[in-house]
Amino acid sequence: MKFAIFSIILYIDTFIIAFIMSLCEGMQPALSYNYAKRDKARLKSLIFYIFATAFLLCFGVVIAIMLWSESLITLFAEKTNQDFIVFSAFALSLYALNYCITWFNVCVSSFLTAFNKASYSLLLSLMQGFFAPLCSLFVLTYLFGLNGIWCAAFVGDLLCVALSFALLKRAFILVNPYFA
């Protein structure tokens, strides 16, 4: 049952993350051009609009999941198993907190790629996709049991926020010490 719940959550997660990634990666040529041109005003404007769009999208997703989590679960599960649907909806609601911050890390990783800082982007992606969630999964399941699984992605992304800020600031400083 737990694997089925997590599979459903990951199906939904894949769709949402893919949408954020396509938003950010679609803007990479414009970001790269303005970064190389050192057009600080245009670059800050693009980053602001990408951040704002990703934030609003994820905020809307969190609200939608909180309001319609059971309906989303029934897209993937039989409507007759009400206990499964209720527990899955609870797990999805906990997991949805991840979208409050994951948008930032996904955007920064994409920005770093656009700024020709592939090693920074790789480091952030590995931290966000593997090391931070794995560490938080071990700690949270030890402390909170099954509920720790649903919160591991949130805590993992929360750990990556500081790294995202540091890498983004470093990418700006390397181009222009007065940029940041």
pLDDT at 163: 96
Residue 180 maps to a domain: no
Other C-beta atoms closer than 10 Å to the C-beta of 29 total: 10
- Assess if residue 166 is contained within a domain: yes
Which parts of the chain have pLDDT scores under 50?
A: none
Cα 169 to chain centroid, rounded: 19
**Predicted local confidence at residue 107, as pLDDT:** 96
Identify whether 29 is part of a domain: yes
11-60: pLDDT as tens digits? 999 999 999 999 999 999 999 999 888 888 999 899 999 999 999 999 99
Amino acid (one-letter) located at 13: D
- Whole-number Å distance between alpha carbons of 123 and 167: 9
Range of the domain at 70: 2-175
Q: Which residue in 23, 111, 7, 114 sits closest to 61, CA to CA?
A: 23
* 163 vs 111: CA distance, rounded Å: 14
Q: Determine the pLDDT at residue 142.
A: 95
Residue written as tokens 């948008």?
A: 103
**HEC readout, 11-26:** HHHHHHHHHHHHHHHH
Q: What is the pLDDT of residue 179?
A: 56
Is 42 a member of any domain?
yes
**Inside any domain, residue 130:** yes
Residue linked to tokens 């999805």: 92
**Total domains, the chain:** 1
Q: Let me know if residue 40 belongs to a domain.
A: yes
